[in-house]
Amino acid sequence: MTFELRLPDVGEGVAEGEIVRWLVAEGATVKEDDLLVEVLTDKAEMEIPSPVSGVLARIAATAGQTVKVGEVIALIETEGMSAHPARPGNAVDVPPAQSTDSAPHGYPSHGVDALATPAVRKIAKDLGVDLSGLTGTGPAGRMSEEDVRRAARSSATAAGTEPREERIPFRGKRRMAAKKMVLSKSTVPHALLVDEADATNLLSMREAIRGVAEHEGVKITVLPFIVQAVVTALRVHPDINASLDEERGEIIRKKHYDIGIAVDAEEGLVVPVIKDAGDKTIVELARDMERLSDAARTGKLSIADVSGGTFTVTSIGSIGGLWSYPVINIPEAAILGVHKIVKRPVVRDGAVVPRDMMYLSLSFDHRLIDGGAATRFMNDVIRQIENLALE
């Protein structure tokens, strides 16, 4: 009998996933709970284990392919090998696909070619790279996409020519983020509010507790203070901490404060969520941000890490930029952009003095939030930032 491995429903509204790479090759023997494939959803990257023991007879969804939840992605021949029978509805009489490839760790090899997945082989073919005799940087010498592109560049240099352009597959986290951005901009009427905050006291507070945080192994940035200010303002303005259930015609006011933090990861923007941010100290918030940011940049976020956000903060201040127009992280109602802090002359008590000033930009869903409500919320965020003081 053959077991149909289908893309599982992981909840949180995930409807589809992109196959990143197979961890074993067709024809390989697998045991129950062996990891088979990496899949990327609009929430996170995950590894799917084998529900049964047997032989991976056929890979039905290749790297780079997007499949719906419930679609078959592989067939596993279980007859005479599985300690547990195939689940009802999953067993089909399909002859297993034959594979002549064999290689250590389940990776395919073709004659004297280097070890490489089908997706990497396609890139090599498109770039005119001969894999014969090449050794990759991956496990057991497996070729990665970067190994192939490096070989292509070396060949071009040796030939005295340079390519006029480079084509990069539009997939993975970049494509998932793009789909969500398009959905947000095409379905939500964005409105924008820009204001400025005096961050002088905030910087003084950060310096005052920096030593305590470093003693606990935590680096303090301005972002934990911003998140704390946002949560305080959200408590006063519940319309901002909300979402719209269009199907039921209901506005959902959230009674919890789970704040998303946009992270500029190499493969695309991701938004891990700090759970119960309103119950945490500055140091605790900073520790959570470090953990989630590191996990985002190394692709180790779980579904739980990126689910359930009620409001998002995106900070590009460390990179630069005067101000921006952030895209709302649907289904949330608003997102706050935080920008670089610049010392400039301002008037205080009739005198011109130097202060550390910062622009803030609030994108909000105009179906749920009017301009007046957005401005009152922003005023309270600014008030919290400016009135920071050591007790």
Structural domains of the chain, ranges and CATH numbers in brackets: 2-158 (2.40.50.100), 189-386 (3.30.559.10)
- Tens digits of residue pLDDT in 368-391: 999 999 999 999 999 999 998 644
pTM exceeding the 0.75 threshold for the entire prediction: no
Cα-based distances in Å from 158 to 151, 152, 154, 163: 10, 10, 6, 12
Query: Distance between CA 10 and CA 5 in Å, rounded?
Result: 14
> What is the residue type of 78?
T
pLDDT at 56: 92
CB 32 within 8 A of CB 83: yes
Low-confidence spans in the chain with pLDDT less than 70: 12, 80-114, 118, 139-140, 156-163, 389-391
pLDDT at 103: 37
Q: In the chain, which ranges are E strands?
A: 2-6, 16-22, 29-30, 35-40, 45-49, 54-59, 66-68, 72-77, 91-92, 190-198, 242-245, 250-253, 259-261, 263-265, 268-270, 273-274, 311-315, 334-348, 351-365
pLDDT at 43: 72
pLDDT at 377: 98
CB 105 within 8 A of CB 9: no
Catalytic residue set: 366
Residue 298: which residues within 8 A CB-CB, separation 6 or more?
A: none
- DSSP string computed for 1-60: -EEEEE----STT--EEEEEEESS-TT-EE-TT-EEEEEE-SS-EEEEEPSS-EEEEEE-
- Tens digits of residue pLDDT in 145-193: 888 888 888 876 666 666 677 777 777 778 888 888 999 999 999 999 9
